[in-house]
Structure 1
Amino acid sequence: MESNDRPPAPRPPAEPWPRVAAGSEEPPADAPRADSAPAGEGGPPEATEATARAEQGDGAAGVLALPLLPKLLLVAAAAAVAVAVAAHLGAVFLHVAPSNTLSRQHDETLDDYIYPEFEQNWKLFAPNPLQQNIAVHARAEIRDEDGSLRRTGWVDLTAMDAESIRGNPFPSHTNQNELRRAWDFFTGSHDDDNRPNGSRGEMSESYLKRIVMLRLGPRLGADRVTKVQLRSARRTVEPPPWSKESVNTETRYRVLPWWPVVSADIPEAAR
């Protein structure tokens, strides 16, 4: 006999909340509400924008919220930096600008500030850029232990700098510019007979002597050096093969007189 007992039909799954009548805009009573979301996890757009504006306002007011004394110190520091930058740019501009009433009136003050650290020149971009290789050589007169004097051979100071630069991805400013700028300083402040043109010429001589003593002093014994002498070796760069220009590539020397060395000419690093 067949049994009349049949398994019950499966029930539809329970809905999370009761159905809403079609066309109704009201959510069920037990549905989560947008305005009850935890802080930082949603919420009305108006509330989120207001919070962001408040946070931005707090950051922008950080400096303004400082006490009066720190504010005054910050303003004073910013003003001092601005004045220093403006003064430096003004001095450099007057130095490189054509001669005028203001630059002539303050010529000595400008020279004292510009030389030798901030000197400017236009030899790279001028109509007549440098077309020569110039090397600076030096030698010294030293006193031996028995009191006799002897002279050393010529030392190529420029070659020493070039050796320090060659193959170095981060060469120092000293190796690149110190000697070269010092020699330019000397030639610009002396006539063709090596006579100084005023105080700048005397300053350039002292500057060169200190550089020579800084290079040769540790090798020779700075206290033993009584005199130094410098010369330049100038050689014109050969023109390219395709050029028909003919130039004299012979090395020419400019020999300076012997300069006595006193204690003030010896830097501390050379002693």
Structure 2
Amino acid sequence: AAAETLEKKKSPLLYRIHDASTPEKLESLKEFLSTLNMKLPSSGGLRPSVFNGLLAKVKDTPQAHLVNEVVLRSQAQAEYAPQNIGHFGLNLRRYAHFTSPIRRYADLIVHRGLIKALGLGDDGLPDGIEAKLEAVGGEISAAERRAMLAERDTIDRLIALWMSDRIGATFQGRIAGVVKSGMFIRLDESGADGFIPASTIGLDYYRYDEGSHSLIGDKSGETYQLGDRVEVKLVEAAPFAGALRFEMLSPGRIAGKRIRGSGSKKPASASKRKPTRRSRTSAKSKPGTKKR
């Protein structure tokens, strides 16, 4: 409504825009869905209803969390700009932040635009602001992302400090990210994120399958996939780096079923192994979420 009002008054404003997914991300999503015998239309423009249909199809199924996570990662990131391309995720032709409780600067521009356009006072947008809005939108979008990273780093350090006296404790969680060097685990109890290096999973060699977001054992076929529920043991907490390292306790899957007695059980020395520089770096590169 704020965007529509300002458009009718021919007032400058910053839109909250959200582009459709890139062809590369859509192709990756198609490849993933094919592993679940699901399809994404191969031609024509994709509308938000297509993604809603996918999520509705897996609702209340074991694959729900996995599909939700991968669909979210396939989306573009929202930003601020004076040129309107609509908001794909919200399925709106025009959208402007108006009453955010954290008072983004973009909201103030909308407020001041309404003050001037509707004759509500002397605190409206200054003349000539149009020439600056593109730069302002870029700065606001960049500041928003910096703030999200700073918030995440702060939380990671505080959680690592809080967990530092729980070395050896076991936790229930979910695989929140899979990369070539290992996987990220998000704990149910606290939402804390930690890393498991692939080299510590077991005696097998695990390869990363990008299409299915999985690590798959060469010999056993044992598979750990994004979204799987697992039990892990905390083996290291580094508060300054904001990093946690876990040991995998749960067996993986073969042909969709949990297995037992596979290479998922580590020798006693595995849990005492110090993390390599690679695993420390990977533990800080966990996937983030996108704000809309």
TM-score of the pair, normalised by structure 1: 0.22
Larger radius of gyration: 1
What TM-score do you get using the length of structure 2 for normalisation? 0.21
Question: Which structure ranks higher in relative contact order (CA pairs < 8 Å, sequence separation ≥ 6)?
Answer: 2
